[in-house]
Amino acid sequence: MIDTVIKNLFKVNLDIKKEERLLIFTDDERKETCEIGKLFSKTGESFTEDVTYIEFRSTRCHGVEPPQEIWEKAFGIGTCNKLARKGFLELLINKKIIEENIKKVEEIIRSHKEESVNAIIALSHYSTSHTRFRKMLTTICGARYA
């Protein structure tokens, strides 16, 4: 039963293609989500050749931006390096970026969007749905997010 549900997420919900890049992540808040993440990762290998699974330290709160490691894998190292050089990456992660710099951030991401993953499965206990990370990845890069 659970295998069918997971396969349908890849096939129906995300429509993952063999050549696409997929990022699956979870936090260490609950052991169960880590086990589920590993199962998703293993299943994902039958849908695409580029699956990355990352577990990170819990943010302990909903809506907190994921850690830099997740940003780097999702948007690409080059994108994150440019954001860091401009002084934006740390501000984004810490939710301290000012609105007047958002357009600059969006332009950097837009100009490097080919580096981004095609889809994300976020299994963290604490939601990343209401983050700039998710918003920019889906709206600028066109990534699918589940």
Rounded Cα distance between 91 and 20, Å, is 29
132 pLDDT more than 80? yes
Tell me, what's the pLDDT at 3? 87
Assess contact for 78 and 112: CB atoms under 8 A.
yes
Please name the residue that has the structure tokens 């994108």: 79
**Interval 79-126: pLDDT, tens:** 999 999 999 999 999 999 999 999 999 999 999 999 999 999 999 999
pLDDT for res 51: 98
* Residue 1 pLDDT greater than 80, yes or no: no
Could you write out the DSSP letters of every residue in 56-86?
E---SSTTPPPPHHHHHHHH-HHHHHHHHHT
Q: Are 14 and 122 in contact (CB under 8 A)?
A: no
Residue with tokens 């963290």, as numbered in its chain: 124
